[in-house]
Amino acid sequence: MAKAKLSLADEATFKAKVEIPVPGGKIAEVEWVFAWMERDKFKEFIKNLEGADDVDALMDISRGWDLDDQFGRTAVEKMTQKYIGAARAVLDKFIAELTGARAKN
């Protein structure tokens, strides 16, 4: 595993592959561009997450993706309507990436 060099400079975004469940037991892998959040902003985001609309939450943390469809509120809403597990997959990945959580094999 390559080691990352720490920097205290402000970061705007980071990318991560999100596994979105699709019907039929399949997974679609989408490279997502997330907004970087420092600890205090992240804590506030988590605090406000309960009861928040999925699209609002995803727009707060997202800056783009590698899909053919142009990223934007309408496209995110369509994705969450078509793929019911998408919002959870994206949120879980964002939280895991910011907190350094690693998935177990």
Residue 105, pLDDT > 60, answer no
Q: What is the pLDDT of residues 31-45, one digit of tens each?
A: 999 999 999 999 999
Residue 79 lies in a domain: yes
How confident is the model at residue 1, as a pLDDT? 60
Residue 19 lies in a domain: yes
Q: How many domains does the chain have?
A: 1
Residue 8 lies in a domain: no
Tokens of 82: 């078509």
Residue 92 lies in a domain: yes
Tokens of 44: 């506030």
Identify whether the C-beta of residue 81 lies closer than 8 Å to the C-beta of residue 74: no
Residue 43 lies in a domain: yes
Residue 104 lies in a domain: no
Residue 69 lies in a domain: yes
Structural domain that includes position 94: 15-99
Q: What is the pLDDT of residues 51-101, one digit of tens each?
A: 899 999 999 999 999 999 999 999 999 999 999 999 999 999 999 999 986
Residue 105 lies in a domain: no
Q: What is the pLDDT of residues 84-94, one digit of tens each?
A: 999 999 999 99
Helix (H) or strand (E) holding 98: helix 86-99
What is the 8-class DSSP label of residue 100? T
How confident is the model at residue 6, as a pLDDT? 63
Tokens of 18: 């999100």
